[in-house]
Chain A
């Protein structure tokens, strides 16, 4: 595209954008953008965080709602990050990333 922006070229871009926006969503990139979100389409995912319950957690151990006072300073993350740890090789750089739409 010519870097000298005329009103006409902007209007043409706008017109093209309208028809692109009206087209069905495609997994292909548009605007250099890829859609990552695959929000589930059931219910409402966000919970209300204020309530007047006492956590089922009490003083007894063995309930998942108990506050375990582990020493955070000596802990090691043990989650899905373990699957990302080895990805430090330069071969991963710049590789094409594609997001697959997850079925709801």
Chain B
């Protein structure tokens, strides 16, 4: 094993001895000096996760989060020097982490928070303008075949737990009071999108979820509305479109020229 390999291995291993070949000018044992590096690596990466997963952290408390994060990062250290997006796989790790088993919603909270970070850093795209929409409506005959391009920062997260309400409760002035109104076992779907540089999170119902999901997959407008109505009798296409428009989430609408009869 090369010198740096031993050094790297000792950084991530728990209670590993100091790597060989280190010296100090005053003959002091190098362990304590090496521990500075180990501490920097572990704390730096735990901090990166703590910044990206603030509600996950709040739910379990600082001490538990730190311990859980260091277990994760020792198994899954970042593969890229770009730490902004570090945390892929954290939710899956949490789902299989026995000490967190009492909180079945915790993994989905981490999924939501990773999506939030991804949405925050996603590519920029301009929303369609009223003039664009007017042009589309002028060609209303082909509207059912229209295909929407949604913003790169738009994400859906379907959960069997009340992730949006739990997340929202942590933004309240009194978190405890807000949490008292939440039933964690309630299934919820989150819509994330970015407007004016800030990520917004909405709780959406089954019809809206189906509608946006289909649009995101590239299905035609008319088909997406039909699927949404199948998912939810009460689906209101105007309200769902208004949500997307208000969020600046539609960046392009393509109406196929009449190639089909």
Q: Please tell me which one of the listed residues B63, B143, B167, B197 contacts residue A68 in the complex, with CB atoms under 8 A apart.
A: B63
B57-110 CB contacts (< 8 Å) to partner A: 57-68, 70-71, 81-84, 86, 97-100, 102-103, 105-106
Which of B39, B62, B99, B234 is A66 in contact with, Cβ under 8 Å?
B39
B143 CB contact (under 8 Å) in A11, A20, A87: A11
Quick one: given A32-B239, A55-B44, are A17 and B245 in contact (CB under 8 Å)? yes
Please tell me if B120 contacts chain A, counting CB pairs below 8 Å. yes
Q: How far is the CA of A79 from the CA of B35 in the complex (A)?
A: 29
Residues of B near A11 (CB, < 8 A) are 137, 140, 143
- Given the contacts A5-B225, A80-B59, A13 and B179 also touching, CB distance less than 8 Å: no
Residue pairs across A and B with Cβ atoms less than 8 A apart, 6 shown, are A7-B143, A50-B82, A72-B64, A76-B99, A84-B59, A88-B185
Given the contacts A77-B102, A92-B183, A32 and B232 also touching, CB distance less than 8 Å: yes
- Bound together, the chains give a CA A102 to CA B174 distance in angstroms of 10
A58 to B38, CA, bound (A): 9
Q: Main secondary structure on chain B at its contact with chain A?
A: helix
Partner of B71, one of A35, A54, A67, A72: A72
A13 to B200, CA, bound (A): 24
- Cβ of A87: which chain B residues have Cβ within 8 Å of it? 180, 182-185
Chain B residue nearest to A41 (CB atoms) is: B198
Residues of B within 8 A of A34 (CB): 164, 202-203
- Asked whether, in the complex, the Cβ of A10 is within 8 Å of the Cβ of B202, the reply is no
Interface pair A68/B232, CB less than 8 Å apart:
no
The complex places the Cα of A41 from the Cα of B208 at a distance, in Å, of 27
B-chain residues with CB within 8 Å of residue A21 when the two chains form the complex: 241-243, 245-246
Count residues of chain B with CB under 8 A from any CB of chain A: 109
Contacts of B13-36 to chain A: CB distance below 8 A: 14-15, 32, 35-36
A49 touches B48 (CB 8 A): yes
A21–B195 Cα distance when bound, in Å, is 14
> Knowing A33-B191, A39-B200, A81-B103 touch, does A67 contact B240 (C-beta < 8 A)?
no
In the complex with contacts A38-B171, A97-B165, A66-B43 CB distance below 8 A: yes
Contact B242 A39 (CB under 8 A): no
Task: Tell me how far the C-beta of A28 lies from the nearest C-beta in chain B, rounded to whole angstroms.
Answer: 11
Contact in complex: A97, B182 (CB < 8 Å): yes
Asked if B130 contacts A33 (CB within 8 A), the reply is: no
**B 155-180 to A, binary, CB cutoff 8 A, 1 in contact else 0:** 00000001011111111110110011
User: Given known contacts A20-B246, A57-B40, A76-B102, what 20 new A-B pairs fall within 8 Å (CB)?
Assistant: A10-B143, A10-B144, A17-B238, A20-B239, A21-B246, A36-B190, A37-B200, A49-B86, A57-B43, A59-B35, A67-B66, A67-B70, A72-B97, A77-B103, A78-B61, A79-B65, A81-B102, A84-B184, A87-B183, A93-B183
